[in-house]
Chain A
Protein backbone atom coordinates (compact mmCIF):
# COMPACT_ATOMS: atom_id res chain seq x y z
CA UNK A 1 0.00 0.00 0.00
CA UNK A 2 2.73 2.45 0.97
CA UNK A 3 5.62 2.92 -1.43
CA UNK A 4 8.83 3.09 0.50
CA UNK A 5 11.57 4.82 -1.43
CA UNK A 6 14.86 3.99 0.20
CA UNK A 7 18.52 4.12 -0.72
CA UNK A 8 19.01 1.07 1.40
CA UNK A 9 16.33 -1.34 0.19
CA UNK A 10 18.48 -4.32 1.23
CA UNK A 11 18.80 -3.26 4.89
CA UNK A 12 18.68 -6.42 7.00
CA UNK A 13 19.52 -8.73 4.09
CA UNK A 14 22.46 -11.10 4.45
CA UNK A 15 24.33 -12.23 1.36
CA UNK A 16 26.97 -14.96 1.26
CA UNK A 17 29.76 -14.75 -1.30
CA UNK A 18 31.48 -18.13 -1.65
CA UNK A 19 34.92 -18.23 -3.24
CA UNK A 20 38.52 -19.30 -2.91
CA UNK A 21 41.94 -18.74 -4.52
CA UNK A 22 41.78 -17.78 -8.16
CA UNK A 23 38.64 -15.66 -7.91
CA UNK A 24 38.25 -12.98 -10.61
CA UNK A 25 38.45 -10.14 -8.16
CA UNK A 26 36.13 -7.64 -9.87
CA UNK A 27 33.41 -10.30 -9.77
CA UNK A 28 33.79 -10.25 -5.99
CA UNK A 29 34.39 -6.55 -5.28
CA UNK A 30 31.70 -5.19 -7.61
CA UNK A 31 28.68 -7.19 -6.39
CA UNK A 32 29.87 -6.82 -2.81
CA UNK A 33 30.04 -3.03 -2.84
CA UNK A 34 26.84 -2.73 -4.91
CA UNK A 35 24.92 -4.83 -2.38
CA UNK A 36 26.52 -3.12 0.63
CA UNK A 37 25.69 0.34 -0.74
CA UNK A 38 22.07 -0.78 -0.73
CA UNK A 39 22.23 -1.86 2.89
CA UNK A 40 22.95 -5.58 2.64
CA UNK A 41 25.41 -7.34 4.91
CA UNK A 42 27.85 -9.37 2.82
CA UNK A 43 29.98 -12.20 4.20
CA UNK A 44 32.97 -13.73 2.40
CA UNK A 45 32.75 -17.52 2.78
CA UNK A 46 35.37 -20.01 1.70
CA UNK A 47 36.55 -23.56 2.27
CA UNK A 48 39.51 -21.72 3.83
CA UNK A 49 39.32 -20.66 7.46
CA UNK A 50 38.16 -17.29 8.75
CA UNK A 51 41.15 -14.93 8.81
CA UNK A 52 42.97 -16.75 5.99
CA UNK A 53 43.30 -14.95 2.68
CA UNK A 54 41.91 -15.67 -0.77
CA UNK A 55 44.15 -14.77 -3.72
CA UNK A 56 42.28 -12.67 -6.26
CA UNK A 57 43.16 -12.54 -9.97
CA UNK A 58 42.78 -10.00 -12.74
CA UNK A 59 42.44 -12.56 -15.49
CA UNK A 60 45.82 -14.37 -15.41
CA UNK A 61 47.60 -11.81 -13.21
CA UNK A 62 47.58 -12.06 -9.43
CA UNK A 63 45.52 -9.31 -7.84
CA UNK A 64 44.59 -8.47 -4.26
CA UNK A 65 44.05 -10.75 -1.30
CA UNK A 66 40.76 -10.89 0.57
CA UNK A 67 40.28 -12.04 4.13
CA UNK A 68 37.87 -14.93 4.65
CA UNK A 69 35.09 -14.00 7.07
CA UNK A 70 33.60 -17.45 7.65
CA UNK A 71 34.56 -21.02 6.82
CA UNK A 72 31.79 -22.51 4.70
CA UNK A 73 31.64 -25.50 7.04
CA UNK A 74 30.43 -23.14 9.79
CA UNK A 75 27.84 -21.46 7.55
CA UNK A 76 24.17 -22.35 7.18
CA UNK A 77 22.11 -21.29 4.15
CA UNK A 78 19.20 -20.50 6.49
CA UNK A 79 21.28 -17.61 7.90
CA UNK A 80 21.50 -15.90 4.49
CA UNK A 81 19.02 -14.41 2.03
CA UNK A 82 21.10 -15.03 -1.09
CA UNK A 83 24.32 -16.56 -2.40
CA UNK A 84 26.70 -15.01 -4.95
CA UNK A 85 29.30 -17.11 -6.80
CA UNK A 86 32.02 -15.08 -8.53
CA UNK A 87 34.12 -16.58 -11.31
CA UNK A 88 37.82 -16.79 -12.11
CA UNK A 89 38.65 -20.13 -13.63
CA UNK A 90 40.66 -21.63 -10.74
CA UNK A 91 38.15 -20.53 -8.08
CA UNK A 92 35.15 -22.72 -8.99
CA UNK A 93 37.56 -25.47 -10.02
CA UNK A 94 38.84 -25.50 -6.42
CA UNK A 95 35.34 -25.21 -4.94
CA UNK A 96 34.22 -28.31 -6.83
CA UNK A 97 36.66 -30.29 -4.66
CA UNK A 98 34.99 -29.04 -1.47
CA UNK A 99 32.01 -31.11 -0.38
CA UNK A 100 31.04 -28.45 2.17
CA UNK A 101 31.02 -25.76 -0.54
CA UNK A 102 28.87 -27.84 -2.91
CA UNK A 103 26.45 -28.78 -0.11
CA UNK A 104 26.19 -25.13 0.92
CA UNK A 105 25.34 -24.11 -2.65
CA UNK A 106 22.74 -26.87 -2.92
CA UNK A 107 21.17 -25.63 0.32
CA UNK A 108 20.16 -22.34 -1.30
CA UNK A 109 18.31 -24.18 -4.03
CA UNK A 110 16.58 -26.40 -1.48
CA UNK A 111 15.54 -23.27 0.48
CA UNK A 112 14.42 -21.59 -2.76
CA UNK A 113 16.74 -18.65 -2.09
CA UNK A 114 18.41 -16.54 -4.80
CA UNK A 115 21.72 -17.74 -6.23
CA UNK A 116 23.77 -15.47 -8.50
CA UNK A 117 26.69 -16.91 -10.48
CA UNK A 118 28.87 -15.13 -13.01
CA UNK A 119 31.51 -16.13 -15.57
CA UNK A 120 33.06 -19.46 -14.41
CA UNK A 121 30.99 -19.31 -11.20
CA UNK A 122 28.14 -21.49 -12.60
CA UNK A 123 30.49 -24.50 -12.82
CA UNK A 124 29.78 -25.49 -9.22
CA UNK A 125 26.04 -25.46 -9.96
CA UNK A 126 26.61 -28.64 -11.98
CA UNK A 127 27.97 -30.48 -8.94
CA UNK A 128 25.26 -28.99 -6.72
CA UNK A 129 22.62 -30.39 -9.10
CA UNK A 130 21.14 -26.93 -9.74
CA UNK A 131 21.89 -26.65 -13.47
CA UNK A 132 19.45 -29.37 -14.55
CA UNK A 133 16.63 -27.94 -16.69
CA UNK A 134 17.53 -24.38 -15.75
CA UNK A 135 17.79 -21.59 -18.30
CA UNK A 136 21.20 -20.00 -17.75
CA UNK A 137 24.33 -18.42 -19.15
CA UNK A 138 28.05 -18.43 -18.22
CA UNK A 139 31.50 -17.84 -19.61
CA UNK A 140 31.27 -19.60 -23.00
CA UNK A 141 33.82 -22.32 -22.16
CA UNK A 142 31.27 -23.79 -19.74
CA UNK A 143 28.48 -23.96 -22.29
CA UNK A 144 28.95 -27.61 -23.20
CA UNK A 145 29.28 -28.75 -19.58
CA UNK A 146 26.12 -26.90 -18.56
CA UNK A 147 24.16 -28.26 -21.52
CA UNK A 148 25.42 -31.78 -20.80
CA UNK A 149 24.23 -31.26 -17.22
CA UNK A 150 20.73 -30.47 -18.53
CA UNK A 151 20.73 -26.68 -18.68
CA UNK A 152 19.35 -24.54 -21.47
CA UNK A 153 22.22 -22.15 -22.26
CA UNK A 154 21.88 -18.78 -23.97
CA UNK A 155 24.34 -15.99 -24.70
CA UNK A 156 22.78 -13.11 -22.74
CA UNK A 157 24.23 -10.56 -20.31
CA UNK A 158 21.96 -11.86 -17.59
CA UNK A 159 19.55 -14.78 -17.41
CA UNK A 160 17.06 -15.20 -14.58
CA UNK A 161 15.27 -18.50 -14.11
CA UNK A 162 13.31 -19.05 -10.94
CA UNK A 163 15.72 -17.72 -8.28
CA UNK A 164 18.88 -18.37 -10.34
CA UNK A 165 20.71 -15.33 -11.78
CA UNK A 166 23.61 -15.97 -14.18
CA UNK A 167 25.90 -13.75 -16.25
CA UNK A 168 28.81 -14.26 -18.66
CA UNK A 169 31.68 -11.95 -17.73
CA UNK A 170 32.85 -8.80 -15.90
CA UNK A 171 31.24 -6.54 -18.55
CA UNK A 172 27.88 -7.94 -17.47
CA UNK A 173 28.32 -6.89 -13.82
CA UNK A 174 25.90 -3.91 -13.96
CA UNK A 175 23.07 -6.14 -15.23
CA UNK A 176 24.08 -8.94 -12.85
CA UNK A 177 24.10 -6.63 -9.82
CA UNK A 178 20.69 -5.18 -10.73
CA UNK A 179 19.22 -8.64 -11.10
CA UNK A 180 20.62 -9.68 -7.70
CA UNK A 181 18.97 -6.71 -6.03
CA UNK A 182 15.64 -7.51 -7.71
CA UNK A 183 15.82 -11.12 -6.54
CA UNK A 184 16.67 -10.04 -3.00
CA UNK A 185 13.72 -7.64 -2.99
CA UNK A 186 11.47 -10.54 -3.98
CA UNK A 187 12.75 -12.75 -1.22
CA UNK A 188 10.27 -13.69 1.49
CA UNK A 189 10.22 -11.05 4.21
CA UNK A 190 11.13 -8.15 1.96
CA UNK A 191 7.54 -7.15 1.44
CA UNK A 192 7.17 -3.93 3.47
CA UNK A 193 3.55 -4.83 4.22
CA UNK A 194 0.76 -2.46 5.30
CA UNK A 195 2.48 -1.22 8.45
CA UNK A 196 5.86 -0.49 6.91
Chain B
Protein backbone atom coordinates (compact mmCIF):
# COMPACT_ATOMS: atom_id res chain seq x y z
CA UNK B 1 0.00 0.00 0.00
CA UNK B 2 2.68 2.50 0.94
CA UNK B 3 4.42 1.74 -2.33
CA UNK B 4 1.35 2.30 -4.51
CA UNK B 5 -0.07 5.22 -2.62
CA UNK B 6 2.36 7.94 -3.65
CA UNK B 7 3.97 7.26 -6.97
CA UNK B 8 6.66 9.91 -7.08
CA UNK B 9 7.95 11.18 -10.39
CA UNK B 10 6.19 11.09 -13.72
CA UNK B 11 4.00 7.98 -13.49
CA UNK B 12 1.27 9.39 -11.27
CA UNK B 13 -1.42 8.12 -13.65
CA UNK B 14 -0.23 4.52 -14.00
CA UNK B 15 -3.27 2.31 -14.48
CA UNK B 16 -5.59 5.20 -15.39
CA UNK B 17 -7.54 5.00 -18.64
CA UNK B 18 -8.52 8.17 -20.47
CA UNK B 19 -10.85 8.46 -23.47
CA UNK B 20 -10.33 11.33 -25.92
CA UNK B 21 -13.48 11.75 -28.02
CA UNK B 22 -13.15 13.60 -31.32
CA UNK B 23 -13.71 13.58 -35.07
CA UNK B 24 -12.67 15.45 -38.23
CA UNK B 25 -11.78 19.08 -37.70
CA UNK B 26 -10.18 18.61 -34.29
CA UNK B 27 -7.65 21.28 -33.33
CA UNK B 28 -4.75 18.89 -33.33
CA UNK B 29 -2.63 20.41 -30.57
CA UNK B 30 -5.64 20.06 -28.24
CA UNK B 31 -5.44 16.33 -28.90
CA UNK B 32 -1.67 15.78 -29.03
CA UNK B 33 -0.95 18.11 -26.07
CA UNK B 34 -3.15 16.36 -23.47
CA UNK B 35 -2.45 12.90 -24.92
CA UNK B 36 1.33 13.34 -24.75
CA UNK B 37 1.13 14.74 -21.23
CA UNK B 38 -1.20 12.05 -19.88
CA UNK B 39 0.84 9.24 -21.42
CA UNK B 40 4.04 10.65 -19.92
CA UNK B 41 2.28 10.44 -16.57
CA UNK B 42 1.55 6.77 -17.18
CA UNK B 43 -2.08 6.94 -18.30
CA UNK B 44 -3.41 4.78 -21.12
CA UNK B 45 -5.17 7.01 -23.66
CA UNK B 46 -7.68 5.84 -26.28
CA UNK B 47 -8.84 7.87 -29.28
CA UNK B 48 -12.60 7.33 -29.44
CA UNK B 49 -14.73 8.62 -32.34
CA UNK B 50 -18.07 8.19 -34.13
CA UNK B 51 -15.82 6.94 -36.96
CA UNK B 52 -14.79 3.28 -37.07
CA UNK B 53 -11.61 1.94 -35.46
CA UNK B 54 -8.78 2.19 -37.99
CA UNK B 55 -10.38 5.11 -39.85
CA UNK B 56 -8.56 8.43 -39.76
CA UNK B 57 -9.47 11.77 -38.30
CA UNK B 58 -8.36 14.95 -40.04
CA UNK B 59 -6.63 17.30 -37.61
CA UNK B 60 -6.50 21.05 -38.15
CA UNK B 61 -4.06 23.78 -37.22
CA UNK B 62 -6.67 26.49 -36.95
CA UNK B 63 -7.86 26.90 -40.60
CA UNK B 64 -5.14 24.72 -42.17
CA UNK B 65 -5.22 20.97 -42.60
CA UNK B 66 -2.92 19.19 -40.16
CA UNK B 67 -2.15 15.55 -39.47
CA UNK B 68 -4.42 12.53 -39.57
CA UNK B 69 -4.99 10.36 -36.48
CA UNK B 70 -6.12 6.77 -36.43
CA UNK B 71 -9.30 6.04 -34.48
CA UNK B 72 -8.72 3.40 -31.80
CA UNK B 73 -12.31 2.70 -30.80
CA UNK B 74 -15.74 3.53 -32.19
CA UNK B 75 -17.70 5.39 -29.54
CA UNK B 76 -20.57 2.90 -29.84
CA UNK B 77 -18.20 0.18 -28.60
CA UNK B 78 -16.86 2.31 -25.74
CA UNK B 79 -18.11 2.03 -22.15
CA UNK B 80 -17.65 5.00 -19.82
CA UNK B 81 -17.20 2.39 -17.05
CA UNK B 82 -13.94 1.34 -18.73
CA UNK B 83 -12.43 4.81 -18.46
CA UNK B 84 -11.39 7.07 -15.59
CA UNK B 85 -11.79 10.34 -17.46
CA UNK B 86 -12.92 11.91 -20.74
CA UNK B 87 -11.09 14.62 -22.68
CA UNK B 88 -12.89 16.71 -25.33
CA UNK B 89 -10.56 18.67 -27.63
CA UNK B 90 -11.79 21.61 -29.69
CA UNK B 91 -11.51 22.68 -33.31
CA UNK B 92 -14.79 24.21 -34.42
CA UNK B 93 -15.89 21.51 -36.90
CA UNK B 94 -15.12 18.67 -34.48
CA UNK B 95 -17.71 19.30 -31.72
CA UNK B 96 -20.13 20.58 -34.36
CA UNK B 97 -20.20 17.05 -35.80
CA UNK B 98 -20.15 15.29 -32.44
CA UNK B 99 -23.33 17.14 -31.51
CA UNK B 100 -25.11 15.20 -34.25
CA UNK B 101 -23.87 11.83 -32.98
CA UNK B 102 -26.33 10.43 -30.45
CA UNK B 103 -23.75 7.83 -29.34
CA UNK B 104 -21.18 10.54 -28.68
CA UNK B 105 -23.59 12.69 -26.68
CA UNK B 106 -24.76 9.64 -24.72
CA UNK B 107 -21.14 8.68 -23.99
CA UNK B 108 -20.34 12.19 -22.71
CA UNK B 109 -23.50 12.36 -20.61
CA UNK B 110 -22.64 9.10 -18.88
CA UNK B 111 -19.29 10.44 -17.66
CA UNK B 112 -21.23 13.29 -16.10
CA UNK B 113 -23.83 10.97 -14.58
CA UNK B 114 -21.10 8.75 -13.11
CA UNK B 115 -19.33 11.86 -11.80
CA UNK B 116 -16.14 11.01 -13.66
CA UNK B 117 -13.78 13.80 -14.74
CA UNK B 118 -14.61 15.51 -18.03
CA UNK B 119 -12.10 17.96 -19.48
CA UNK B 120 -13.11 20.13 -22.46
CA UNK B 121 -11.11 22.86 -24.15
CA UNK B 122 -11.80 25.62 -26.69
CA UNK B 123 -14.86 24.57 -28.77
CA UNK B 124 -14.91 21.21 -26.95
CA UNK B 125 -17.49 22.32 -24.33
CA UNK B 126 -20.15 22.73 -27.02
CA UNK B 127 -21.15 19.08 -26.79
CA UNK B 128 -21.72 19.46 -23.05
CA UNK B 129 -24.79 21.56 -23.90
CA UNK B 130 -26.34 18.63 -25.77
CA UNK B 131 -25.24 16.23 -23.03
CA UNK B 132 -27.13 18.51 -20.60
CA UNK B 133 -24.15 18.83 -18.29
CA UNK B 134 -23.70 22.61 -18.15
CA UNK B 135 -26.70 23.88 -16.16
CA UNK B 136 -25.48 25.62 -13.02
CA UNK B 137 -21.83 24.84 -13.75
CA UNK B 138 -18.93 27.25 -13.59
CA UNK B 139 -16.97 26.91 -16.81
CA UNK B 140 -15.02 28.56 -19.59
CA UNK B 141 -14.54 27.94 -23.34
CA UNK B 142 -13.53 29.63 -26.57
CA UNK B 143 -15.30 33.01 -26.29
CA UNK B 144 -17.73 32.36 -29.17
CA UNK B 145 -19.45 29.71 -27.04
CA UNK B 146 -20.05 32.07 -24.14
CA UNK B 147 -23.63 33.02 -25.07
CA UNK B 148 -24.63 29.43 -25.90
CA UNK B 149 -23.23 28.12 -22.61
CA UNK B 150 -24.91 30.90 -20.63
CA UNK B 151 -28.21 30.30 -22.42
CA UNK B 152 -27.84 26.65 -21.40
CA UNK B 153 -27.47 27.73 -17.76
CA UNK B 154 -23.71 27.84 -17.24
CA UNK B 155 -21.78 30.47 -15.29
CA UNK B 156 -19.10 31.44 -17.80
CA UNK B 157 -15.84 33.15 -16.90
CA UNK B 158 -12.73 34.13 -18.85
CA UNK B 159 -10.00 32.10 -17.12
CA UNK B 160 -7.30 29.78 -18.42
CA UNK B 161 -8.84 26.87 -16.54
CA UNK B 162 -12.06 26.50 -14.53
CA UNK B 163 -12.68 23.44 -12.35
CA UNK B 164 -16.20 22.86 -11.02
CA UNK B 165 -16.76 19.49 -9.43
CA UNK B 166 -15.17 17.08 -11.86
CA UNK B 167 -15.61 19.36 -14.86
CA UNK B 168 -12.41 20.96 -16.20
CA UNK B 169 -12.66 23.58 -18.96
CA UNK B 170 -10.16 25.82 -20.75
CA UNK B 171 -10.32 28.47 -23.49
CA UNK B 172 -7.64 27.78 -26.11
CA UNK B 173 -4.35 26.08 -27.02
CA UNK B 174 -2.33 28.56 -24.88
CA UNK B 175 -4.17 27.18 -21.83
CA UNK B 176 -3.08 23.57 -22.44
CA UNK B 177 -0.41 23.49 -19.68
CA UNK B 178 -2.96 24.60 -17.04
CA UNK B 179 -5.60 22.32 -18.58
CA UNK B 180 -3.25 19.30 -18.40
CA UNK B 181 -2.35 20.01 -14.77
CA UNK B 182 -6.03 20.24 -13.83
CA UNK B 183 -6.79 16.90 -15.53
CA UNK B 184 -3.83 15.33 -13.73
CA UNK B 185 -5.16 16.60 -10.40
CA UNK B 186 -8.66 15.25 -11.08
CA UNK B 187 -7.34 11.87 -12.12
CA UNK B 188 -4.80 11.59 -9.30
CA UNK B 189 -7.55 12.38 -6.77
CA UNK B 190 -9.75 9.62 -8.10
CA UNK B 191 -10.07 6.73 -5.71
Contacts and interface: CB of A to CB of B under 8 A. Distances in A.
A90 interface: yes
B100 A145 contact: no
B129 interface: yes
Interface string B15-26: 000000000110
Contacts of A90: 63, 92-93
Contact of B92 (A93, A127, A144, A145): A93
B152 to A, nearest CB: 5
Contacts of B93: 60, 89-90
Contacts, number: 49
B148 A145 contact: yes
B130 interface: yes
A97 B92 contact: no
A26 interface: no
Nearest to B58: A60
A144 B63 contact: no
A187 interface: no
Interface residues of A, number: 20
A163 interface: no
Contact of B152 (A21, A89, A144): A144
A85 to B, nearest CB: 15
A144 B144 contact: no
Interface size class of B (residues with CB under 8 A): 20 to 34
A62 B66 CA distance: 13
A94 B62 CA distance: 12
Contacts of A43: none
Contact of A148 (B63, B97, B151): B151
A126 B144 contact: no
Contacts of B97: 141
Contacts of A97: 143-144
A91 to B, nearest CB: 10
A144 B147 contact: no
B99 interface: yes
Interface string A132-175: 00000000110011001100000000000000000000000000
A55 interface: yes
Nearest to A92: B144
Contacts of A22: 63, 92
Interface in B108-159: 123, 129-130, 143-144, 147-148, 151-152
A109 B127 CA distance: 30
Given A60-B24, A96-B144, A149-B151, A144 B96 contact: no
Contacts of A120: 96
A141 B25 contact: no
A21 B92 CA distance: 13
A140 B151 CA distance: 17
A89 B144 contact: no
Interface of B: 24-25, 58, 63, 65, 92-93, 96-97, 99-100, 123, 129-130, 143-144, 147-148, 151-152
What are the 10 A-B residue pairs with the smallest beta carbon separation, nearest first? A148-B151, A96-B144, A141-B99, A145-B148, A141-B96, A93-B92, A89-B96, A89-B93, A93-B144, A90-B92
27 contacts: A21-B63, A22-B63, A60-B24, A60-B93, A89-B25, A89-B93, A89-B96, A90-B63, A93-B92, A96-B147, A97-B143, A97-B144, A120-B96, A126-B147, A126-B151, A127-B147, A140-B100, A141-B99, A141-B100, A144-B99, A144-B129, A145-B129, A145-B148, A145-B151, A145-B152, A148-B151, A149-B151
Given A90-B92, A97-B144, A144-B129, 4 more contacts: A60-B24, A93-B92, A126-B151, A144-B152
